[in-house]
Amino acid sequence: MKKLILCVLAVTALTVSPAAAFDRDNGGTSTPATPAQQAARVVARLTPRLVLTTAQQATATTLFTAEFTTLASLPAGVTTAKAALLAAIKVNDPVAIATAANQLGSLHAQAVIAEATASAGIYAILTSTQQAAYAALLMDND
């Protein structure tokens, strides 16, 4: 039971971080940042580290916007699956537990796919020197 709860918490944490989804640079309010705003922040951080060209910045912005758009759709599904899992636990329904766990696993996979797809697209547009630096950044973020 403890392992199941820890697994659910891990999947939830690995989807979208609520702190990452809010724009705190808008006068102190916590307005959700759009995927385009999130992408712009990531590109702004990567540009000096990788010395991105204007064309690379534009492509990276498109790729990261797609990633964050996908990630933004996942929390609602995680909430629903967690509620279903809790309900299944309360009535000791192994089939419903398996179904909810599979839903959570699928949502986690969608997040990993979105992140890896964006990273692969970024990697493809970089020079070999930039690729080495980007690979190091990706390893540091794990």
Instruction: Find the largest Cα–Cα distance for the chain.
Output: 57
Q: Which residues contact 69 (CB under 8 A, 6 or more apart)?
A: 35
Residue 100 · residue 84 · CB < 8 Å: yes
What's the pTM value of the predicted model, to 2 decimals?
0.75
**Domains in the chain, number:** 1
Mean pLDDT of 130-134: 96
Mean pLDDT of 16-29: 48
Q: Which amino acid is at 135?
A: A
Residue 100 · residue 85 · CB < 8 Å: yes
Sign of torsion over alpha carbons 121, 122, 125, 126: negative
Strand partners, 31: 23
Pure H helices in the chain: 2-14, 35-50, 54-72, 74-90, 94-125, 128-140
Q: What is the dihedral of CA 70, 71, 76, 77, to 10 degrees?
A: 70
Give CA 25 to chain center in angstroms: 21
The confidence score (pLDDT) of residue 31 equals: 85
Higher pLDDT, 102 or 141: 102
Name the percent of the chain lying above pLDDT 70: 79
Q: CA-to-CA distance for 60 and 88, rounded, in angstroms?
A: 42
Query: Does residue 21 register a pLDDT over 80?
Result: no
What is the domain range of residue 54? 2-140
